[in-house]
Amino acid sequence: MASTQPEIAFDFSPMLIVYKDGKVNRLTGNDIVAPSLDPKTNVDSKDVVYSPENSLSVRLYIPRNVTQSQKLPLLVYFHGGGFCIESPFSPHYHNYINSLAAKANIVVVSVQYRRAPESHLPCAYEDSWKALEWVASHVNGSGPEDWLNSHADFEKVFFSGDSAGANIAHRMGIKHGMEKLEGVQVEGIVLCHPYFWGNEAVGNEASDAKSRKFIETLWRFTYPETTGCDDPWINPVVDPDLSKLSCRRVLVFVAEKDLLCSRGWYYHQKLKEIGWGGDVEVFETKGEGHVFHLFNPACDNAEAMLKKTAAFYNTN
């Protein structure tokens, strides 16, 4: 008797499986939580549509203790997930942003973007820029969302993300350097365990051929039109526009047991080598793996990472 199981086209377990009939089975990152006032952090949140044509929203966060005329630093955050799983509405991201908004006393815009394989790259980059244009529409206090009109300080704007979201945050910094968002001053960018890669192994990457193959195959899966792993979109150190990164400060978090760790250090090294005009710092967490802070937020290392991040947003 013939099997009725569909044939697998791509198996990216534990992230997702894609079948030859086109079905996509996301194995994780599917849970969502509603926006609400979080009693633990006293941070309020709500969802606002920024791209009706693609049914995309941002989740806004604001500390409830903000006064009527108080302006706070503004963080635009891009979630991770290899460009193919997760969302701003997942419990991991919702809880993390609540804690970060409270610790740093900032306004946060957490961006939803289209994901592969239904929408291959560069869709995620295009959506993220559109979200930034929507954010920038509030510069003069006349945008559609009152929280941003009243409380976002557009002279203290930050971009951040983890993994693939860190890749997006970097790309948005480059794009802002080339196509300025009028009235928006990007003070800094925080990259948490950034998803960067390259054809030539750096650091300890050569020791794990299986993981290298996974990363390279995933990149080509999410971006079929890519030139490969030395595409500037995945390997920023070969990008001729790297010096156009538009902010004053960059903080890169890496984790010792993360295969992407060496890439974060290499990115830091390259910014220094090319004479980029800002300040760049790396913070390495020993004994931890990729995005550990999202999955184990109560551990000491995650607390230290949160404290370091909040201090970055509050440093003049």
DSSP per residue, 261-305: HHHHHHHHHHHHHTT-SSEEEEEEETT--TTHHHH-TTSHHHHHH
With contact defined as beta carbons under 8 Å apart, do 145 and 98 qualify?
no
What is the per-residue pLDDT for 2? Answer: 56
What is the per-residue pLDDT for 5? Answer: 80
What is the per-residue pLDDT for 101? Answer: 98
**Edge to edge, what strands does the sheet with 24-26 contain?**
8-12, 16-19, 24-26
What is the per-residue pLDDT for 316? Answer: 74
**Positions marked active-site:** 163, 258, 290
What is the per-residue pLDDT for 4? Answer: 74
Radius of gyration of the chain (CA): 19
Would you call 286 exposed, middle or buried from its count of C-beta atoms within 10 A (0-12, 13-18, 19+)?
Answer: exposed
Pick out the chain residues at pLDDT < 50.
1
Closest-CA residue to 235 (of 204, 207, 263): 263
Quote the CA–CA distance of 113 and 124 in Å, as a whole number: 5
What is the per-residue pLDDT for 113? Answer: 99
SS3 73: strand
Closest-CA residue to 257 (of 213, 197, 193, 199): 193
